[in-house]
Structure 1
Amino acid sequence: MKAYYHLPGLFEFYEFYKVLLPLFRDHREYFYDWCEIGSIYGAPADCLWGGGRVGFGDEQATDVIKLLREYDISARLTFSNSLIREEHLTDKRCNRLCELFEKTGTQNGIIIYSDLLMDYIKQNYPEYYFVSSTTKVLTDFKDLEAELNRDEFKYVVPDFRLNKSFEKLGQLSTIQKDKVEFLCNECCSFGCTDRKECYENVSRKSLGEDCEDHICQSPQAKRGYRFSDAMNNPGFISIDDIQNTYMPMGFSNFKIEGRSLGSAIVLEFILYYMVKPEYQLIVREEIYLDSSLDLF
């Protein structure tokens, strides 16, 4: 059984993946043999249908497609805006992205919230598979089960606060387990009650609405994202958890968050989850370390 990681930064980390993917292919011995790259997800800056995080990156879609086609990796467009209305469906830029990514030789996916948008994409671009977005904030296990039972979704990303509901997770069928995609490294406060409101704020900004920023009230919010904080989150899924708990239970899909962060921290995620300890320094050296690098 393999673990499939779904990685962030389809557009914003293009240059990073140009270096990482050859390493992953040509030096497979650096990486755990039980894991693979399932997809790379994201949306370009100022993407009307975007959600979850405001789109970052302005790399040309044709370059991104060429890179992922070379390594036979699925691209996922993050079209998880929760406030899509009928008039938004004809957006030229988003439709053009759908056209470009639909037929690339590898089946690509759409991470989605809106049923309205999903129905539109299914009708006009039928080659995509769909991923139910974690921005739905499915914290009730019955809601998660209902989502898993929807035929239109190939994968469903539950809220990270269901990550350790092992008794209920263990009772899912094999078909349901194959569709669950766990968010591993969320840093958001486990007790946050504003998560849905935060995502809606991002959706409004993507639509160009004039609205104030959502201010997170979490005590650690001012620190920004720190992997060390995420590791102390009750919903955190460690590499040990993946190998010794989730995979033996029959789960194989794991999402790494990281859009809007820097490529340096994304590298740390990949080192932790995918690279054997004895090769982590070598991978760092290949990607960015050199003998003349000064930190300050």
Structure 2
Amino acid sequence: MKKSEKTIAYYHLPGLFEFYELYSIFLPLFREHREYFYEWCDIGSIYGAPADCIWGGGRAGFGDGSPEDVLALMQEYGISARLTFSNSLLKPEHLADKRCNELCRLFDTSSNGIIIHSELLLEYLKNNYPNLYYVSSTTKVITDFGQFINETDRDDFRYVVPDFRLNKEFDKLSAMSQQQKDKVEFLCNECCRYGCNDRKSCYEAVSRKNLGEDCPEHYCTAPGADSGYRFSKAMTNPGFISADDIKNVYLPMGFSNFKIEGRGLGSAIVLEFLLYYMTKPEYQIHVREAVYLDNMLDLF
């Protein structure tokens, strides 16, 4: 094995609060039947935010999982919990929000992190919750490779999630130092149109909504947007990273962190992500049955 090659891909999965019930079934299965899953992958973190968080950003969450229950589940399985606090439009008066501060106090350990956009919030959290680590959010829409390199060189961030349109810049990616590569977390399954110019506006609309502002709804005008997210469509995106790509291209290049989006989707489609990216084909039916036959889980 070459010095830069990685042997394990760490997935960062969606729906910490949104899909608590799904993970309460899936995580025991992942531990007790490790033979069902690819030996070259593991779970790096699960991310999300409750629906009532004004610091929230990215895709608007709808999570109603109890923070105490969520944290206990992550601690039981030794998985990092990440709060998605990527609102890009925060002002000083928003920093005192009781709900978000309570969540930070609860999750304030070195095992847990914050996905973040706002520099204002970053400085506040560093001063008040010193144990958390930070992930530079893809909501920054970093598409310039030089800017992306500068972001990976910042000591503030343990990981940086570039815009998905940098996923296939292989010549530039391969030239990165190993220290930089270790901080890159690729967004694998984005369905957004590759040439979209409204991505930042879309995220800002979500930020305004989470702040409770009275603002017009943002509607995507890309062809086929009215059909919503389709995994089959995401697979045709030029920036899509497949399971085979991870194993045969990115791990050999020295990259090991991969983000799966899907907080705003239903449990059924998130289960398909878990099957596709983590589960050996011959065992997918076993995982499906374990999940679908659990009467406590609403898959709609």
Bin for the TM-score computed over the shorter chain: over 0.9
Partner residue, 1:85? 91
Return the offset for 1:289.
4.3
Q: Which residue of 2 aligns with 1:9?
A: 15
Q: How does 1:134-283 map to 2 (within 5 A)?
A: 134-283=138-287
Aligned-pair CA distance for 1:21: 0.2
**For 2:73, which of 63, 67, 70 is the aligned residue?**
67
Question: How many Å separate the matches in 2 of 1:207 and 1:183?
Answer: 25
Report the alpha carbon displacement of residue 59 of structure 1 after superposing the two structures with TM. 1.3
Q: Secondary structure at the match of 2:182?
A: helix
- How many percent identity over aligned positions? 71
- What are structure 1's unaligned runs of at least 5 residues? none
TM-score, L = length of structure 2: 0.95
- Determine which of 106, 112, 115 is the counterpart of 2:116: 112
What is the RMSD of the two structures over their aligned residues, measured on CA atoms? 1.1
User: In the alignment, residue 44 of structure 1 is paired with which amino acid?
Assistant: P
Aligned length: 289
Q: Distance in 2 between matches of 1:131 and 1:220?
A: 31
Q: Deviations over 1:25-58 (max 9, x none)?
A: 0000000011000000000002100000112111
Match 1:48 to one of 31, 35, 54:
54
The match for 2:29 is 23
| Aligned partner (choices 35, 39, 44) of residue 33 of structure 1 | 39
Aligned residue type for 2:36: Y
Kindly indicate whether the alpha-carbon contact (under 8 Å) linking 1:80 and 1:135 is maintained by their aligned counterparts in 2. yes
1:122 paired residue number: 126
Query: Secondary structure of 2:52's match?
Result: coil
Give the deviation of 1:285 after TM superposition. Answer: 0.4
CA separation in 2, counterparts of 1:165 and 1:57?
Answer: 34
The structure showing larger relative contact order (alpha-carbon pairs under 8 Å, at least 6 residues apart) is 2
Moved over 2 A (4+): none
**Equivalent-residue separation in structure 2 for 1:25 and 1:248 (angstroms):** 26
State the 1:83 CA deviation.
Answer: 0.3
